[in-house]
Amino acid sequence: MQIIGTVRGEGRKTDGLERLYIYIDKKEAKVLPYQEGGKIKISLIIEEDCYESFLMTTKT
């Protein structure tokens, strides 16, 4: 499955790594397993690398 999103920076964590998040419009996100106001653990695969992350929503 391929979904278009925008990567945005949110500053640096205390360990110096940059905190990033991916913004996805809710119209595009209908195929994702998110729940309004919830936090769901996911595996995000970008090319050959797999990252553990979370899906979260904000009220619009």
- The one-character DSSP state at 17 is P
| Token digits of residue 33 | 């397993």
| pLDDT, tens only, 45-54 | 888 888 888 8
Please determine, for residue 1, whether its predicted confidence score (pLDDT) is greater than 80: no
Q: What is the predicted pLDDT for the residue at 60?
A: 62
For the CA atoms of 56, 1, 31, 54, what is the dihedral angle to 10 degrees?
-10
Please determine, for residue 43, whether its predicted confidence score (pLDDT) is greater than 70: yes
| pLDDT, tens only, 19-28 | 888 888 878 8
For the chain, what are the domain ranges? Answer: 6-56
